[in-house]
């Protein structure tokens, strides 16, 4: 399962907790405020039309590179994808999906940075893990 966020929408220290190096960390209001002050632009929240565009282009790109996606949701401030591995590394896949969706949004009038740096990955080691992650993503859709 891959997750990445829109720019400025989920900062380190966030009251909801946050992820670093695959670990979920506790809220830290001082760290959050420091990161909020460092933002160079307004946090990004995708509109419904933008969410549809992102979903369409990532779906098309996954078919183009022959990556099977089991579950996929685009929220206003983050994306979740549960997919099979393919010939590219996970980081290459995330960068590919971020790149094509940014390009599509910019072609349709969006200006500025869309995504935060990095992503979170959660591996599925058995069918139960896979089903749990798919169900989680579908509940967010």
Question: What is the pTM assigned to this prediction?
Answer: 0.89
Distance CA 61, CA 106 (A): 17
In percent, the amount of the chain with pLDDT more than 90 equals 84
Residue 107 confidence (pLDDT) above 90: yes
pLDDT number for residue 29 = 94
What six digits make up the tokens of 71?
A: 């579950």
- Give all domains of the chain, ordered by start, each with its CATH number: 2-139 (3.30.70.1290)
What's the average model confidence in pLDDT over 29-54?
95
Phi-psi domain of 22 (left: phi exceeds 0; alpha: psi -120 through 50; beta: other): left
- Computed over every residue of the chain, the mean pLDDT equals 94
CA distances from 125 to 18, 95, 101, 133 (A): 23, 24, 29, 11
Under a CB-based contact definition with an 8 Å cutoff, are residues 1 and 133 in contact?
yes
């Amino acid at each position: 399962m891959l997750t990445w966020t829109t720019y400025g929408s989920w900062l380190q220290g966030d009251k909801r907790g946050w992820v670093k190096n695959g670990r979920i960390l506790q809220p830290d209001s001082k760290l959050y405020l420091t990161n909020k002050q460092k933002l160079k632009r307004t946090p990004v929240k995708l509109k419904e039309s933008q969410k549809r565009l992102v979903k369409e282009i990532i779906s098309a790109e996954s078919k183009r590179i022959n990556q099977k996606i089991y579950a996929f949701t685009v929220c206003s401030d983050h994306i979740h994808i549960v997919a099979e591995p393919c010939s590219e590394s996970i980081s290459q896949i995330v960068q590919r999906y971020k790149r094509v969706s940014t390009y599509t949004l910019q072609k349709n009038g969006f200006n500025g940075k869309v995504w935060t740096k990095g992503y979170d990955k959660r591996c599925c080691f058995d069918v139960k893990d896979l089903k749990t992650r798919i169900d989680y993503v579908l509940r967010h859709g």
